Amino acid sequence: MSYQTDAYQDLRDAVRDLCNTFPAEYWRKVDEARGYPEQFVDALTKAGWLAALIPQEYGGSGLGLTEASVIMEEINRTGGNSGACHGQMYNMGTLLRHGSDEQKQLYLPKIASGELRLQSMGVTEPTTGTDTTKIKTVAVKKGDRYVVNGQKVWISRIQHSDLMILLARTTPLDQVKKKSEGMSIFLVDLKSAIGKGMEVRPILNMVNHETNELFFDNLEIPAENLIGEEGKGFKYILDGLNAERTLIAAECIGDGYWFIDKAAQYAKERIVFDRPIGMNQGVQFPIADSYIELEAANLMRFKACELFDAHQPCGAEANMAKFLAAKASWEAANVCLQTHGGFGFACEYDVERKFRETRLYQVAPISTNLIYSYVAEHVLGLPRSF
């Protein structure tokens, strides 16, 4: 499939040029080694793409979410995996929106240059899962420090980050009026935390996505690392979700185009029964179907971006974009694998790798059911179920 041109063509070309210097073989090797695409992330950082959303006054490029989403899309569209570094693009949003001037001056320029990586965000816990307001990790203020105890799970990119945004309860649940109150956000300096109150255990998983269990045993965090006001952390986390969801939708769109390209190409070349398999409508139609679904999802992704960049409410659109794009990319993945027959399972075709990678997005960072729930309650006004 030839790329259609759009208003972002120059940006697409520039990102694609960089990505093309990291061919499929590179990503295959990183996947086989369960490694980290260090060279790729370095190149992307040096070129400034991960600092797209950081305002120019802090050394970033001050682009909108639309442009940032094009960057993420292109990485996945050229066969890469932005999951290795997407946190660096959006985790700083919490600091940007709610940090003090001092914190912003201290951290944002270094995050923009890549001197500091803020790739990790610690929210999910093993015993509470999606029910975030029940988190059990606590931070208790003692003089000029907070002392943290508890546990997190599925916290990504810790080994490749300098900083982590951490959500912990600072007022016990039974002492707050609303369950969403009493949680706070901290910036954790990982190098000084690991082995000194924080233990990290990697979780081997289906994708080459570096993610971990974290154990906190009297981890001390300087009080000045609290972001914003104590007790408002849950609201701050929610404020960042629209950007995160929309960027991940764009990654799924990139995956979807990659699968469709790959499937269409193979269907034209593979000869069985003396003709290209793509001559059979049984092979053509599923590819056409997933292309139609993907194009529709892409419209919702751009609608979410447009609203976000115009500072309009976009919770529903960001959630729906993530839902539609994750669904479309997963359908395209299935079609692509099916089109390749047995060869879809061979690592050298990259289909099985991308198939695993794109599957994640129906579970993380928010599962499909929770998006249904959001739309049912917040858009359609149905009664709360939890």
Ligand X SMILES: Cc1cc2nc3c(=O)[nH]c(=O)nc-3n(C[C@H](O)[C@H](O)[C@H](O)COP(=O)(O)OP(=O)(O)OC[C@H]3O[C@@H](n4cnc5c(N)ncnc54)[C@H](O)[C@@H]3O)c2cc1C
Active site residues: 244
CA angle centred on 365, ends 103 and 242, rounded to 5°: 60
Residues 237, 102: Cα–Cα separation, whole Å: 20
CB of 250 to ligand X, least distance (A): 18
For residue 193, the minimal CB distance to ligand X (Å) is 16
Nearer to ligand X, 100 or 130 (CB): 130
- Residues lying near ligand X in the complex (CB under 6 A) are found at 121-124, 129-130, 154-156, 205, 209, 211, 360, 363-367, 369-370, 386
* Of residues 87 and 254, the one with the C-beta less far from ligand X: 87
As measured in angstroms, the least distance from the Cβ of 50 to ligand X is 16
State the Cα–Cα distance between residues 219 and 179, nearest whole angstrom: 25
Distance in angstroms (rounded) separating the CA atoms of residues 95 and 265: 44
Of the two residues 123 and 335, which places its CB atom closer to ligand X in the complex? 123
Which residues fall within 8 angstroms of residue 296, CB to CB, at 6 or more apart?
324, 328
Name the nearest CA neighbour of 228 among 275, 187, 264, 195. Answer: 187
Closer Cβ to ligand X, 40 or 90, answer by number = 90
Cα 248 to chain centroid, rounded: 5
Helix/strand number for the chain, H first, E second = 13, 10
Q: Which is nearer to ligand X, 104 or 160 (CB)?
A: 160
The answer to whether the CB of 150 falls within 8 A of the CB of 170 is: no
Minimum CB separation from ligand X for residue 85, in Å? 12
Rg (CA), the chain: 21
In this complex, which beta carbon is closest to ligand X, that of residue 7 or of residue 363? 363
Q: Which amino acid is at 277?
A: I
DSSP string, 117-132: ---EEE---TTTTT-G
Instruction: Please give the residue whose beta carbon sits closest to ligand X in the complex.
Output: 129
DSSP states of 38-106 as a string?
HHHHHHHHHTTGGGTTS-GGGTS----HHHHHHHHHHHHHTT--GGGTHHHHHTHHHHHHHS-HHHHHH
